[in-house]
A and B are shown apart, each in its own frame.
Chain A
Amino acid sequence: MTMEAYKYEDGSISYPGHPRGPGGTEPVDTVDLSEYTAEVITWTTSMATPPGVREPNSLAIVEFDVEGETVRAIGQLTTDEVDIGDAVEPVYVEELREPGAGIREPESQDWDGYRFEPV
């Protein structure tokens, strides 16, 4: 499992990847964000969560710096003891929410991924 982001012709990176990037160009490479640390841009703890989601559910938008190019990601936090500007690292989790408990077809996507843990 990797936290795969796409790199495009102009050097920009997106997570998740898209079939076309800036200027309609195709991705030229992938980057595994799980190998990098990130900075918390903002965070929240959701107290009212949908079926199959842990409650409470702390989430953050974080920013990775990949050799000078920034890319943001959203993810669950391992704790609500964080603040804006804190450094975090991705930690692998087999199941972020229970497949099939919500409305989304379980086979339509993967359910494992990464939580962010303060470094």
Chain B
Amino acid sequence: MERVAIIGASMTQFGKREGWIQDLLAEAGIECLEDAGVDASAVEHLYVSNMASGEFEGQTGVPNALAHDLDAVPAYTQRVDQTSSSGGAGIYAAWQSIASGTSDMTLLVGGEKMTHRTTGEATDVIASLTHPAEYKTGVTLPSFAGLTARHYLDRFDAPRESLGKVAVKNHKNGLDNPKAQFRKEVDLETVLESPIVADPLRLYDFCPITDGSAALLFCPEEVAKEYTDEYAVIAGVDGATDTHVVHEREDPTVMGGVVESGKGAYEMSGYGPEDIDVAELHDMFTILEFLQMEGLGFAEQGEAWKLVEEGYTERDTGELPVNTSGGLKSKGHPLGASGVAQGVEIYEQLVGEAGPRQVDADVGLTCNVGGFGNCVITTIMEAAQ
């Protein structure tokens, strides 16, 4: 099996963008190829991570549109949809294409255009992933977060402030990310006094609605060496599902997809939680950062909040910097782009291109969560030896 390298990465400005999905995808795709110094004609497979361009914009068939716009025709192309984890699933698909020997150069571009919709409409498009028995109650993904957060705080006697500290940390990290939607520091008081969205969670516990795209370029390690000495390698990647109906899970504070995909990625890579130097976790809601830290073995169940309180996940002083990019919380969450953008951050950390966000890292992890833990992809990358 080929060892799979990443030799290029890009991320557009996240936020409210004038361009539509086709423009955003092309912007990241072109920049990624330029970053790697690879001509579009070399691209054999082109994957597009996107949840809902048809529902948001009435534009379908985006993979083929992108192949044309990049002048990558006749590259094989397909859309990868796994809701919010489409980006991570795209990394898995791109890895498979190279590892299997099917493609020698695979471009992955993830993107979403959302901000032209009202918050209610965008929330409804995302909530359409729910089971009919859930959907008719009007439950939204933020509501699931509120339900889970109340249970977690009550059961583990965790202070409400600990969730707020996740938001404070990630906003602080986002200050140094010029592509982030919100480059704005917030203090704990601001978080705790912001308007209630789904109690006990408030506005600053949630990521925003975002336009944007991100891209990664994959090839066999032997091919990577022809282009650069500075590349990252996919050491492990795995994906898993949990129940479609969220309340059917045995333990509301355990995301089975996180646990299972993490196990698979650790096993494939030979690394364990103790070997991870930096992690990008899917902080669509602050409570998710706790659940992933616990599901991935960085903390015991019910104790991630203590690590956050102790500063364990701080960028410059913590043992395990989490969400150095600012996370979805500050950077924004253009659904299909988010998992790819997590990969972009870890790639930049491993090749030493993270600028003021740079930490000392040889091994990094991304965890990309779809639905409310319904589908999860965990990826472990290592710096080129």
Q: Which residues of A contact B (CB under 8 A)?
A: 14-16, 41-54, 57, 59-61, 72-76, 84, 96-97, 102-104, 108-111, 113
- A48/B248 in contact, CB under 8 A: no
CB distance from B192 to the nearest CB of A (A): 16
CA distance A46 to B285 in the complex (A): 14
Contact in complex: A46, B198 (CB < 8 Å): yes
A43 touches B150 (CB 8 A): yes
Q: Is B121 an interface residue (CB 8 A)?
A: yes
The stretch among B83-91, B106-114, B124-132, B173-181 that forms the contact with chain A is B124-132
Contact of B154 among A42, A50, A60, A103 (CB under 8 A): A42
Are B198 and A16 in contact (CB-based, < 8 A)?
no
Using Cβ atoms and an 8 Å threshold, which residues of chain A touch B124?
Answer: 50-51, 102-103
Closest beta carbon of chain B to A62's beta carbon, Å? 9
Q: Complex Cα distance A76/B135, Å?
A: 11
Contact indicator A46/B142 (Cβ below 8 Å): yes
A61–B127 CB distance below 8 A: no
Residues in B neighbouring A104, C-beta threshold 8 A: 128, 132, 135
Chain B positions within 8 Å of A, measured between CB atoms, are: 55, 119-121, 123-125, 127-128, 131-140, 142-143, 146-148, 150-151, 154, 195-201, 245-248, 252
Q: A48-B119, A50-B123, A50-B127 are in contact. Are A103 and B136 (CB under 8 A)?
A: no
List of A residues within 8 angstroms of B154 by Cβ: 42, 84
Minimum CB distance partner of A74 in chain B = B247
Instruction: Check A44–B120 contact: CB distance below 8 A.
Output: no
Check if B139 sits within 8 Å of A48, measured CB to CB: no
- Chain B at the A interface: SS class: helix
A47 to B55, CA, bound (A): 24
Q: Apart from A50-B127, A110-B132, list 17 A-B contacts with CB within 8 A.
A: A14-B245, A41-B252, A42-B148, A42-B151, A44-B147, A46-B139, A47-B196, A49-B123, A49-B138, A50-B121, A61-B151, A74-B139, A84-B151, A96-B137, A97-B136, A97-B138, A108-B132
Tell me, in angstroms, the Cα distance from A97 to B136 when the chains sit together.
6
Closest to B250 in A: A72
Q: How far is the CB of A29 from chain B (nearest CB, A)?
A: 18
Interchain CB contact under 8 A, B120 and A51: yes
* Residues in B neighbouring A110, C-beta threshold 8 A: 132, 136
B residues less than 8 Å from A48 (CB atoms): 119-120, 123, 140, 142, 197-198
* Contact partners of B196 in chain A: CB under 8 A: 45, 47
CB-contact partner of B135 in A42, A47, A109, under 8 A: A109
A45 touches B150 (CB 8 A): no
Known: A44-B199, A61-B247, A103-B128. A49 touches B150 (CB 8 A): no
Q: Is the CB of A74 within 8 A of B198?
A: no
Residues of A within 8 A of B198 (CB): 44-48
**Which of the listed residues A47, A52, A73 has the most CB atoms from chain B within 10 Å of its own CB?**
A47
A33 to chain B, nearest CB (A): 11
A39 to chain B, nearest CB (A): 13
Cα distance A103–B23 when bound, in Å?
A: 25
B63 to chain A, nearest CB (A): 23
Q: Give the docked Cα–Cα distance between A90 and B121 (Å).
A: 29
Give 22 A-B contacts (CB < 8 Å), ordered by A residue. Answer: A16-B131, A16-B133, A16-B245, A42-B147, A46-B146, A49-B123, A49-B140, A50-B123, A50-B138, A50-B140, A51-B120, A59-B147, A61-B147, A74-B246, A84-B150, A84-B154, A96-B136, A96-B137, A96-B138, A102-B124, A102-B128, A103-B124
Residues in A with CB closer than 8 Å to B246 are: 74
Within the complex, what minimum Cβ distance (angstroms) separates B57 from chain A?
Answer: 13
The 8 A-B residue pairs whose C-beta atoms are closest, nearest first, are A44-B146, A53-B138, A50-B124, A109-B132, A42-B151, A16-B133, A46-B143, A72-B247
Residues of B within 8 A of A109 (CB): 132, 135-136
Q: Are A59 and B137 in contact, CB atoms less than 8 angstroms apart?
A: yes
Measured in the bound complex, the distance between the Cα atoms of B198 and A109 in whole Å is 26
Contact A103 B137 (CB under 8 A): no
The verdict on A76 contacting B138 (CB below 8 Å), with A46-B143, A103-B128 known, is yes
Specify which of B55, B136, B139, B252 is in contact with A113 (CB 8 Å cutoff): B136
Give the residues in chain B near A43, CB-CB below 8 Å. Answer: 147, 150
Query: How many angstroms from the CA of A51 to the CA of B125 in the assembled complex?
Result: 10
Chain B residue at minimal CB-CB distance from A44: B146
Q: How far is the CA of A61 from the CA of B123 in the complex (A)?
A: 20
Chain A residues lying within 8 Å of B151, measured Cβ to Cβ, are: 41-42, 61, 84
Instruction: List B contacts of A84 (CB < 8 A).
Output: 150-151, 154
